[in-house]
Amino acid sequence: MLGAVALSACEKAKSKRPVYDGVPFSVKTKAVDKKVSRANFVVEVKDAGLSLDGARLAAEHAGVTYCLSEAGYGTSNIQWDVEPRNPDAQLRLVDGTAVFHGTCDP
């Protein structure tokens, strides 16, 4: 009984995540150093190998959300180290996690 409840809770948690290219990626966005500037941030997209295109979309969405609301810059302009929308850009993968660095550009 507890196992069924736990599984249904996991399914509900997964269903709340946005889906990119059919994959509900786990995405983490944070400032590089809040004390210096909230403009510089990093986005980590776990299990990027499930869909590199989806991982790129997830990273871009997370970066825009971060700059617009979390960092408080009110802009979607971002200077990326690896442009998520460029399919030819080489992704940086660390243990299967795609890592993107960006700067909110007001």
Q: What's the pLDDT tens digit per position in 29-42? A: 999 999 999 999 99
Domain membership flag for residue 77: yes
**Structural domain total, the chain:** 1
Examine residue 3 and state whether it is found in any structural domain, yes or no.
no
Assigned domain for 96 exists: yes
Whether residue 65 lies inside any domain: the answer is yes
Nearest CA to 23 out of 61, 49, 62 is that of 49
Distance, in Å, from the CA atom of 61 to the CA atom of 97, rounded to the nearest integer, reads 16
pLDDT value at residue 24: 96
41 located within any domain: yes
Q: Where are the alpha helices (DSSP H) in 17-70?
A: 52-65
For residue 12, is it within any domain? no
How far is Cα 56 from Cα 76, in angstroms, rounded to an integer? 16
pLDDT attached to residue 68? 93
Amino acid 55: pLDDT: 97
pTM comes to 0.81
So what's the pLDDT on residue 6?
47
Asked whether residue 53 is domain-assigned, the answer is yes
Q: Which of 54, 53, 63 is nearest to 29 (CA)?
A: 63
Residues of the chain with pLDDT under 50: 1-9, 13
Q: Which residues contact 97 (CB under 8 A, 6 or more apart)?
A: 44, 45, 46, 47, 48
Q: Is residue 1 assigned to a domain?
A: no
Domain residues for the domain of 58 are 19-104
Q: What is the pLDDT of residue 15?
A: 61
